């Protein structure tokens, strides 16, 4: 009896401390800041980026309280790790707030979560506890403003990711080609890994989060198939190993006829060696049928650290035998590679309003540019960019013009 009274007193104190009150959430943008995680094996910390163990120490006090409260409700429950994400394609919901409940008890709120942003880091939660997430527009003041809620009870001892996705009003957008529901929902990825088997590798699965994309195959160019026939809301069944620090290209093709939807280039930073994560297919394949939507893209989401978009390889759509042209790629040549002082490029087509930009492997534009109003068939199609100030590493040259755009990798050496 005394134990029950003590437990009720602790529970009452926990509820009081976890009552809703506005708080700032460190808004971890893709291409910007880092996610925070809570690894169960402290020896793995040697594989993290240096700031990972200290950054955002106060980021989720309400969720820490959630763990304590859930432990009181189910004191003998097994525990697992969970990560939450928002990968929505709806242009009317660029920012959301998420309210969390354990049963009827409010335990926290994350505010101003942007599209494709991880809103809750991997945290430890017990099995057998009902977790409710209620979604409202950004800058909401109460859970009563939520337009969607879903409750999930985790019954097994597993790590998982919960992804909020979908459209608030699907009638205003293109239907899913495979007949999948496009309503706001939580897509759960079960049995996910947080660490790779080898300390020099990065292991990934693929999550299909593009509402208007058909079933797709995802292939590592020159290597393994990452996913086969996955549809919206699905994940690939098995992890594939990538080598951290090595550039790679991913080809996304339609399963029904092998038509190419896009090719994307990137590199897993060496700071994420020993980690696992997932590739998220996001955005719209056809933005004309989905007004205001963003383009289809592949995003790398590590279990810890900055998520980032892979760069589209090319959208010139030119045939190799197009009359008067030198080839199907907008960037016909890129040299020297590796480069030390300057990198030169030559266009394979005549194009107007050409702009060349250099990006790092995380997709951040570095401000190095070569811009000319016109490259014509009768004039030089050569350009050059000074890269002498760049640190040694892998970079991307992206050329945009009236004929489309093209992206090529190059290496800066010393």
Copy the structure tokens of residue 289.
């049928």
Contact by Cβ (8 Å): 229, 208:
no
Whole-number Cα distances in Å, 14 to 7, 59, 268, 358, 370:
10, 18, 41, 51, 59
For residue 252, give the nearest of 265, 261, 243, 244 by alpha carbon: 261
Alpha carbon distance 145, 111 (integer Å): 13
Could you give the 3-state DSSP secondary structure of residue 138?
coil
β-bridge pairing 130-137 and 95-102: antiparallel
Alpha carbon distance 84, 160 (integer Å): 9
Alpha carbon distance 89, 248 (integer Å): 26
**pTM greater than 0.85 (yes/no):** no
In a structure prediction context, what are the per-residue pLDDT tens digits for the chain, which is 414 residues long? Answer: 544 444 444 444 443 443 333 333 333 222 222 222 333 333 332 333 333 333 333 334 444 444 444 444 445 556 678 787 888 889 999 888 888 888 778 877 878 877 656 545 677 777 777 888 899 998 999 999 999 999 887 766 678 888 889 999 999 899 999 999 999 999 999 899 999 999 999 999 999 999 999 999 999 998 899 999 999 999 999 999 999 888 889 999 999 999 999 999 888 888 889 999 999 999 999 999 998 888 999 999 888 756 788 888 865 444 444 433 444 577 888 888 888 888 888 877 776 777 888 988 777 888 877 765 555 544 557 788 889 999 888 888 888 877 778 888 888 886
């Amino acid at each position: 009896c005394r134990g029950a009274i003590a437990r009720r007193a602790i529970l009452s104190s926990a509820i009081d401390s976890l009552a809703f009150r506005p708080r700032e959430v460190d808004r971890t943008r893709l291409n910007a800041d880092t996610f925070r995680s809570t690894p169960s094996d402290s020896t793995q910390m040697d594989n993290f980026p240096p700031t990972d163990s200290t950054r955002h120490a106060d980021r989720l006090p309400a969720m820490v309280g959630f763990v304590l409260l859930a432990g009181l409700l189910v004191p003998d429950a097994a525990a697992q790790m969970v990560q939450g994400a928002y990968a929505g394609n709806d242009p009317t919901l660029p920012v959301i707030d998420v309210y969390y409940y354990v049963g009827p008890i409010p335990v926290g709120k994350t505010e101003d979560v942007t599209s494709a942003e991880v809103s809750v880091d991997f945290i430890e939660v017990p099995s057998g506890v009902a977790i409710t997430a209620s979604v409202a527009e950004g800058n909401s003041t109460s859970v009563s403003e939520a337009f969607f809620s879903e409750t999930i009870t985790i019954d097994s001892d597993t790590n998982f990711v919960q992804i909020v996705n979908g459209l608030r009003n699907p009638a205003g957008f293109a239907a899913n080609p495979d007949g999948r529901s496009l309503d706001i929902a939580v897509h759960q990825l079960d049995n996910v890994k947080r660490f790779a088997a080898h300390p020099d590798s990065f292991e990934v699965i693929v999550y299909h989060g593009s509402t208007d994309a058909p079933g797709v195959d995802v292939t590592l160019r020159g290597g393994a198939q990452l996913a086969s026939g996955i549809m919206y809301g699905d994940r690939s069944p098995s992890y594939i190993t990538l080598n951290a620090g090595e550039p790679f290209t991913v080809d996304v093709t339609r399963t029904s006829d092998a038509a190419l939807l896009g090719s994307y280039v990137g590199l897993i930073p060496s700071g994420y060696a020993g980690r696992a994560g997932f590739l998220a297919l996001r955005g719209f394949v056809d933005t004309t049928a989905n007004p205001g939507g963003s383009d289809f893209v592949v995003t790398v989401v590590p279990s810890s650290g900055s998520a980032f978009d892979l760069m589209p390889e090319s959208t010139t759509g030119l045939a190799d035998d197009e009359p008067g042209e030198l080839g199907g790629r907008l960037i016909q040549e890129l040299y020297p590679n590796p480069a030390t002082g300057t990198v030169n490029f030559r266009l394979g087509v005549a194009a107007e309003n050409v702009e060349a930009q250099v990006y790092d492997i995380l997709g951040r534009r570095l401000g190095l540019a070569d811009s000319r109003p016109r490259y014509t068939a009768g004039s030089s199609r050569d350009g050059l960019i000074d890269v002498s100030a760049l640190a040694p590493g892998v970079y991307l040259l992206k050329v945009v013009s009236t004929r489309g755009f093209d992206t090529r990798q190059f290496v800066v050496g010393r």
